[in-house]
């Protein structure tokens, strides 16, 4: 099992630069007007604490690249956020408000969830989470990204259900949620990483370098840094899961955008 893909990440950024791409964050992209540049939009979902988080950031600095880092409340890394802010990248929230609500209220199915006032309550919570994150780090959080948790799979509803109506953006003081359908529709190619055991580490089977070499723009590249550097404990857990469930464990049955 390959447990270190960090060098592969650098090769992707190097290929982008060699092929004339400008590497930007999600926040940068929403400010782009009629650009003729080839654009690679970098997004990192910080699902877990990992040495790879900082390692990928350091690689990006070598290539004058900017990226968006979305932190869950339990993965907030003050030191890294300050570095991202100082460098000119974007640090923001990887929210899972509905999942938290489901967990806290012991909800087991969709029907039970929709009997509650969960949407309004969750929007109020999300607003406060953003206010606190902005105040703590003096960051904008102009864009945010929904996290997919087990609880969402349980009831079949994404956390970004809260932001499907863009009229709520003003209430949250945001400019974009990362899975907004209109935004995604303007992306030339959307590539997401996954565990190395599935499709060679890329969810939809396309390797970023091949897409870069074809000149596709804008190209949105989503990574989860914990997929790029496994510690011994993570490797052991993966081996056990494969032994128990087989490789089918890594096939995500929950519909993704």
Question: What count of Cα atoms within 13 Å lies in the side-chain half-sphere of residue 232?
Answer: 0
Dist CA 230 CA 91 (whole Å):
23
pLDDT in tens, 156-167: 999 999 999 999
Contact 53, 77 (CB under 8 A): yes
pLDDT at 86: 98
27 CB-contact burial (10 Å; exposed 0-12 / middle 13-18 / buried 19+): buried
When pLDDT is averaged across residues 106-120 and rounded to a whole number, the result is 97
pLDDT at 4 over 90: no
pLDDT at 252: 47
Of the chain, the percentage scoring pLDDT greater than 70 comes to: 88
DSSP secondary structure code for residue 145 in this structure: E
Mean pLDDT, rounded, for 43-52: 96
For residue 245, is pLDDT > 60?
no
Instruction: Kindly report, residue by residue over 12-32, the tens digit of the pLDDT.
Output: 999 999 999 999 999 999 999
pLDDT tens, residue by residue, 193-203:
998 888 889 99
Q: How many CB atoms lie within 10 A of CB 112?
A: 14
pLDDT given at position 199: 85
Give residue 256's pLDDT band: very low, low, confident or very high (50, 70, 90).
very low
For residue 66, pLDDT over 50 is answered with yes
Domains of the chain: 6-250 (3.20.20.370)
pTM reported for the whole predicted model: 0.91
Phi-psi region of 186 (alpha: psi -120 to 50; beta: other; left: phi over 0): alpha
Say how far apart CA 216 and CA 189 lie, in whole Å. 7
* Contact yes or no for 40/23 (Cβ under 8 A): yes
Q: What is the pLDDT of residue 241?
A: 57
The mean pLDDT of the chain is 91
pLDDT at 9: 97
Average pLDDT for 131-156:
97
The pLDDT of 232-254, averaged and rounded, is 54
Contact criterion met (CB below 8 Å) for 44 and 229: no
Q: Is the peptide bond before 218 cis (omega within 30 degrees of 0)?
A: yes
pLDDT of residue 255: 43
pLDDT of residue 250: 42
């Amino acid at each position: 099992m390959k447990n270190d893909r960090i060098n592969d990440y650098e090769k992707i950024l190097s290929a982008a630069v060699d092929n004339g791409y400008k590497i930007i964050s999600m926040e940068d992209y929403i400010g782009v007007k009629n650009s003729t540049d080839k654009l690679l939009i970098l997004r990192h979902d910080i699902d877990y604490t990992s040495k790879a988080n900082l390692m990928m950031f350091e690689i990006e600095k070598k290539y004058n690249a900017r990226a968006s880092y979305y932190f869950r409340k339990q993965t907030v890394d003050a030191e890294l956020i300050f570095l991202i802010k100082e460098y000119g990248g974007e640090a923001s929230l990887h929210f899972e408000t509905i999942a938290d609500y489901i967990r806290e209220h012991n909800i087991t199915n969709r029907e039970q969830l929709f009997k509650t006032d969960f949407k309004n309550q969750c929007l109020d919570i999300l607003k406060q989470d953003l206010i606190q994150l902005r105040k703590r780090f003096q960051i904008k959080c102009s864009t945010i990204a929904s996290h997919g948790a087990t609880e969402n799979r349980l009831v079949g509803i994404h956390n970004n259900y809260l932001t499907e109506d863009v009229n709520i953006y003003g209430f949250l003081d945001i400019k974009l949620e990362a899975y907004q359908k209109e935004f995604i529709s303007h992306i030339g190619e959307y590539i997401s990483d996954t565990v190395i055991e599935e499709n060679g580490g890329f969810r939809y089977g396309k390797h970023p370098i091949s897409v870069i070499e074809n000149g596709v723009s804008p190209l949105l590249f989503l990574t989860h840094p914990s997929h790029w550097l496994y510690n011994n404990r993570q490797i052991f857990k993966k081996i056990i899961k494969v032994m128990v469930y087989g490789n089918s464990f890594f096939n995500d049955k929950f519909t993704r955008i």
